């Protein structure tokens, strides 16, 4: 990232307050502290999000014959409410919900989002499921040509989305994927990195063929330019049909995080999350 040297004059007492947040770890020095405070006061670099909430929730049947998986109750509210709260906390208030199976129940629950302090619009599957890439392609008209964050509706994590956005802004690439590690990555997109560049993406590989425990965490930021990588044939799975092309073009970066992460599409993981998941303090 290019930087420019500036000379500024500040009130001495204000400077003391700025210096007080330097911890030599997350905020290394005075320049970093000033940059941190300026960024915090400005609108985020990404202000729109797409939530993929159209899946049939097969692993939760027969429950998901009656309610969409995004509305499965988690403690005191529907699972999807946690994702919306997380986006709002990061300053993302324009949200597109991609819906399919029992999508009308999601609309009934969240409406236009005003009660949650966000603006929600909807993009619906047709008679046949569009797939993840097809759903994102169809939602593009809501995105106004701006960069956007995508998150799976059945992922529960305490990832710092503001930090992810700042990382993407610094990286200047077409896509930034949040990555985490798990013991058995076979049911997820397995990723290999070199520095902060993703050099390989393999969706749901044979476990024996995988030598990486880094997985795609279902949270990523895309520039509008990624639509050039979308093939015309649909429905599509973005992890299989789009991500490898972006990797080949050397336009995908890795954001590693070590916080809590649960794929709630599996009942056993759901049970584990009920016992262990904790929200980060504001």
Query: Which is nearest to 36 in space by CA: 47, 52, 25?
Result: 25
218 and 268 share one domain: yes
Residue 230: CA atoms inside 13 Å, Cβ hemisphere, count? 22
Note the residue count of the chain: 282
Answer whether residue 5 is part of any domain. no
Mean pLDDT of the chain: 85
Mean pLDDT of 159-167: 91
76 and 26 share one domain: no
Q: What is the pLDDT of residue 208?
A: 46
Mean pLDDT of 32-48: 77
Answer whether residue 7 is part of any domain. no
Q: What is the pLDDT of residue 282?
A: 46
Q: What is the pLDDT of residue 118?
A: 95
152 and 93 share one domain: yes
29 and 118 share one domain: no
Answer whether residue 118 is part of any domain. yes
23 and 80 share one domain: no
Residue span of the structural domain in which 17 resides: 13-42
Domain boundary among 5, 25, 42: 42
- CATH number for position 85: 3.90.550.10
| Count of domains forming the chain | 2
For 113-135, the pLDDT digits (tens) are: 999 999 999 998 877 778 899 99
Give the distance from CA 272 to its chain's centroid. Answer: 21
Answer whether residue 3 is part of any domain. no
Give the span between the Cα atoms of 218 and 113, in whole angstroms: 23
Mean pLDDT of 241-265: 91
Q: What band does 160 get if pLDDT is binned at 50, 70 and 90?
A: very high
Q: What is the pLDDT of residue 204?
A: 58
Query: Which is nearest to 239 in space by CA: 215, 260, 255, 223?
Result: 215
Residue 254 pLDDT exceeds 70: yes
What global pTM score does this model have?
Answer: 0.82
Answer whether residue 170 is part of any domain. yes
Residue scoring higher pLDDT (4 or 186): 4
Mean pLDDT of 269-279: 88
215 and 93 share one domain: yes
* Pick from 90-94, 172-176, 199-203, 223-227: least confident: 199-203
135-158 b/e (C-beta count within 10 Å ≥ 16 → b): bbbbbbebbeeebbbbbbbbbbbb
Residue given tokens 């016992």 in the structure block: 275
Answer whether residue 240 is part of any domain. yes
160 and 26 share one domain: no
203 and 77 share one domain: yes
Q: What is the pLDDT of residue 203?
A: 59
209 and 151 share one domain: yes
Answer whether residue 250 is part of any domain. yes
* Pick from 166-170, 191-195, 251-255: least confident: 191-195
Give, as one character, the DSSP assignment of residue 172. -
Q: What band does 139 get if pLDDT is binned at 50, 70 and 90?
A: very high
Residue 206 pLDDT exceeds 60: no
Residue 212 pLDDT exceeds 90: no
Give the span between the Cα atoms of 79 and 73, in whole angstroms: 6
Query: Which is nearest to 226 in space by CA: 139, 119, 126?
Result: 139
113 CB neighbour count, 10 Å cutoff: 17
Query: Which is nearest to 200 in space by CA: 149, 237, 137, 248?
Result: 248
Answer whether residue 8 is part of any domain. no
115 and 35 share one domain: no
């Amino acid at each position: 990232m290019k930087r420019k040297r500036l000379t500024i004059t500040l009130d001495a007492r204000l400077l003391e307050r700025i210096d007080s947040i330097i911890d030599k770890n997350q905020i290394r020095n005075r320049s970093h502290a000033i940059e941190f405070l300026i960024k915090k006061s400005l609108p985020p670099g990404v202000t729109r999000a797409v939530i993929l909430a159209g899946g049939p929730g097969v692993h939760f049947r027969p429950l998901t014959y009656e309610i969409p998986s995004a509305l499965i109750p988690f403690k005191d509210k529907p699972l999807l409410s946690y994702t919306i709260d997380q986006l709002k906390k990061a300053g993302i208030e324009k949200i597109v919900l991609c819906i399919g199976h029992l999508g009308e129940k999601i609309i009934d629950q969240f409406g236009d989002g005003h009660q949650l302090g966000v603006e929600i619009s909807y993009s619906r599957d047709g008679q046949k499921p569009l797939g993840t890439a097809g759903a994102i392609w169809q939602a593009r008209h809501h995105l106004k040509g701006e960069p956007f964050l995508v998150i799976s509706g059945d992922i529960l994590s305490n990832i710092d989305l503001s930090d992810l956005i700042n990382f993407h802004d610094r990286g200047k690439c077409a896509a930034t994927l949040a990555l985490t590690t798990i013991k058995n990555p076979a049911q997820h997109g397995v990723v290999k990195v070199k520095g902060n560049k993703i050099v390989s993406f393999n969706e749901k590989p044979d476990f024996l063929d995988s030598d990486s425990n880094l997985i795609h965490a279902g949270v990523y930021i895309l520039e509008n330019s990624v639509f050039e990588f979308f093939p015309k044939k649909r429905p599509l799975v973005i992890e299989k049909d789009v991500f490898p092309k972006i990797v080949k073009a050397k336009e995908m970066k890795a954001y590693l995080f070590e916080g809590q992460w649960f794929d709630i599409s599996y009942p056993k993981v759901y049970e584990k999350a009920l016992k262990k998941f904790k929200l980060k303090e504001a």
